[in-house]
Structure 1
Amino acid sequence: MSSSLSSSTAATVSSKEVSRQRFVNVFEGIVEELTSILRSYKMPQEAIDWFQKNLNYNTPGGKLNRGLSVVDTYAILNNTTADKLSDEEYKKVAILGWAIELLQAYFLVADDMMDQSKTRRGQPCWYLVEGVGNIAINDAFMLEGAIYEILRRHFRQDSYYVDLLDIFHQVTFQTELGQLLDLVTADEEHVDLSRFSLDKHSFIVIFKTAYYSFYLPVALAMFMSGISDTRDLEQVKNILIPLGEYFQIQDDFLDCFGTPEQIGKIGTDIKDNKCSWVVNQALLHASSEQREILDKNYGQKDDEKEAICKKLFKEMGIEKIYTDYEENIVNKLKQEIDKVDESRGLKKEVLTAFLNKVYKRSK
């Protein structure tokens, strides 16, 4: 029994690797296309080399969940699987997936500079790479500009081209609004917990994460599948935005209560004075004495003070509050998915697949 299970697991892993490699192969073609654009402008070779390094260092190194979700969603909407798509059809939808990964890279390069982060995906942040420094600001702009170059080259003749441009511009602005509120709320230099609230946290995570990580991949696959009725876009938005908020609340919880082995990183939300769901729940339920402990210890670059906060969170029963929240939101989302109108081509399976990836995840 165990050998058949292990062989099944191995097959799943192998299938995921094949799927990921096919997706990565498309990116290599994108780099070549963008390089040809620079050559057509007679850009000197040293600048071309720099742009290629920027693209390859910052774009393909993550989990690629957002980009792969576009491909998987498109396949579900068209009653097939990703591996059954023709090379031409696969390439086109994968390019939309890479457009989101370029958007993610643009955000991360800029975000790391704003936060003065040291590492990203197990390597130095781009601005800390030798010789880069503040050039990373322009490199971030170029990652964003690359999105519109590849959209123009591959989708200009399609009826939904304007929809693609419109949603990328809108979601980019929404994400930047979330980042703005995050920056002005959680100033690491001036810790003031009275600035925090669950309403602010909700706005930050919806605008900074949910729109581009959950709604955008599905909307892009819908446009390419010919499903663009505003009623259908609203249906998926009304489920994927709360799902994206749940995902980030889960992330906040794991940052505090998960182990580095479990989540693949050392949680820093407490030391970084993050307006996280955990601290907002603590503020909501804190006695005057507990609030005083939080005010003295939260947002400090100190291991002992961080430990005091974690101990307090445990004593306050934040883990139970989170478990209750998770079961409640998942039940509500399942009920909403059951109500989805599939008459115009939308499929409940798309939304269920996203929920299944998030529910009870541990990393």
Structure 2
Amino acid sequence: MTSAGPTGTTTAPQALDAQLVAAIAQSRERTFAAHRAHLGAVAPEAEELVGVVEDYLAGGKLLRPRFCFWGGIAALDRAPDEDEVSRLAALGTAIELVQAAALMHDDVIDHSPTRRGRPALHVEAATSHRERGLDGSAADFGIATAIVLGDLALSWSEQLAAEVASPGAGPRPAAAAVEFARLRTEVMSGQYLDVLHQAGGFTSAPSEEEAALAVIRWKTVPYTVLRPVRAGAALMGAGAEALELLSTWAAEIGTAFQLRDDLLSVVGDADATGKPIGGDVAEGKRTVLLARTVAATDAAGRRLLERTVGRPDAAAEDVTAVQELMVRTGAVDSVVRDVRAAAERARSILSRAAECGELGALGVTGLQSIADSATDVESIGG
């Protein structure tokens, strides 16, 4: 599908996506150059922090900026002009910085050794500490570095978002600023619910599965799909009805995305995910997948789960046995079906929104393409 641009040109979604990627690269370059100049005046060691964050963002899939961008295009109902692409890219870059902060801290909380196929930031910093022969605990230094860099990335995200989504710049930027503020608040609240749930303290949820779903709703959905897509749409002038449609769609896609991610952490391909398979088992992540496995297994299965789940020193053969149990009990297949059902409901929402003219066809095409990629479970089966 193509669309006429503001100058009468015809723009394909693939070409627009490439334009977005280029604009994000430019936004990052400007942002990091400014921070490098600022921190360079503090100390050479402080300036090095900019390069660490810059490298951390390299190689990402730009999922959240794409949701932001195509939400904006859906609101515009046409191809964007150069200024609109630039503003949406800057807002998307700010959201990527929030994600970077969340991941840096999340890996510390979860004791995750890797991220995107390479050592997690706190592990990398600890290794550097040992190699340089610095004083004190290398592990403590790594954790402290990840916390500081996460805080720095979060600060930079706010500065960048304020350039394009300032409450004092008019109704559209003000609406986008509200979405960005809620994104940061909700993901932090969701992170706390996740930590609380891991400790067995999320007692207001009526069941283990519903607690896991609530964590998804407040940790993953807001900063992965819902707020990015609403922020982009608000920045481009979306009305209340369009925003509500996007919210309903985002809840389905965000939930399906996280359920799929939980599956990939157990039955995925480590080379493709960049994370060790079985990591969620050893860590003891209280996922929907685990809740359904516990509910469906027998006494022998529960004994296996008790001696393996949440135990970093668990025997490799027990971790493998838990993965096999998740398949054998039907838990994997049931989660795969839920991912597919949510993706199909989301598809229907977008289709109806395009048909009634609430969302533009070009933006709907872009959003559907990202959703298809984010919820694909064909390699898992079910």
Q: Given the two structures, how large is their TM-score scaled by the length of structure 2?
A: 0.77
Paired amino acid for 2:151: F
For 1:273-288, list aligned pairs within 5 A: 273-288=284-299
Q: Distance in 2 between matches of 1:247 and 1:230?
A: 25
Q: Distance in 2 between matches of 1:80 and 1:339?
A: 18
Residue 240 of structure 2 corresponds to residue 245 of structure 1: no
Name the count of aligned residue pairs. 341
8 Å contact kept, 1:271–1:306: yes
For 1:1-363, list aligned pairs within 5 A: 20-35=21-36, 38=38, 43-46=41-44, 49-80=47-78, 85-86=81-82, 88-128=83-123, 129=125, 130=128, 133=142, 134-156=144-166, 157-187=169-199, 197-227=208-238, 229-267=239-277, 268-301=279-312, 302=314, 303-340=316-353, 342-343=356-357, 345=359, 348-349=364-365, 351-361=367-377, 362=379
The alpha carbon displacement at 1:344 in A equals 5.1
Tell which has more relative contact order, 1 or 2 (C-alpha 8 A, sep 6+): 2
The alpha carbon displacement at 1:262 in A equals 4.5
Q: Distance in 1 between matches of 2:353 and 2:77?
A: 17
Q: Deviation digits for residues 146-205 of structure 1, max 9, x if unmatched?
A: 1221233344434333323322222212111221122222259xxxxxx97110110111
Q: Given the two structures, how large is their TM-score scaled by the length of structure 1?
A: 0.81
User: 1:266 aligns to what SS in structure 2?
Assistant: coil
8 Å contact kept, 2:97–2:156: yes
The alpha carbon displacement at 1:316 in A equals 1.3
Gaps of 5+ in 1: 1-11, 189-194
Alignment CA distance shift 1:289-1:123 (3 Å): closer
Q: Distance in 2 between matches of 1:312 and 1:199?
A: 21
8 Å contact kept, 1:58–1:109: no
Q: Distance in 2 between matches of 1:350 and 1:21?
A: 17
Q: Distance in 2 between matches of 1:13 and 1:48?
A: 39
Q: Deviation digits for residues 243-280 of structure 1, max 9, x if unmatched?
A: 21111111111222223245443221111101122211
8 Å contact kept, 1:23–1:68: no
Paired amino acid for 2:197: T
Worse-superposed segment, 285-294 or 199-208 = 285-294
Q: Distance in 1 between matches of 2:198 and 2:218?
A: 16
Q: Deviation digits for residues 285-342 of structure 1, max 9, x if unmatched?
A: 2234433332233223321111221222222123432343334333333333344375
8 Å contact kept, 1:24–1:60: no
Paired amino acid for 1:238: T
Q: Distance in 2 between matches of 1:317 and 1:250?
A: 15
The alpha carbon displacement at 1:345 in A equals 5.0
Alignment CA distance shift 1:359-1:110 (3 Å): closer
Q: Distance in 2 between matches of 1:323 and 1:220?
A: 29
Paired amino acid for 1:260: A
Q: Deviation digits for residues 11-62 of structure 1, max 9, x if unmatched?
A: x9999777534422321012123445x37xx942426513422431333442
Gaps of 5+ in 2: 1-12, 130-140, 201-205
User: 1:185 aligns to what SS in structure 2?
Assistant: helix
Q: Distance in 2 between matches of 1:330 and 1:119?
A: 29
The alpha carbon displacement at 1:74 in A equals 2.7
8 Å contact kept, 2:27–2:90: yes
Q: Distance in 2 between matches of 1:13 and 1:230?
A: 28
Paired amino acid for 1:166: V
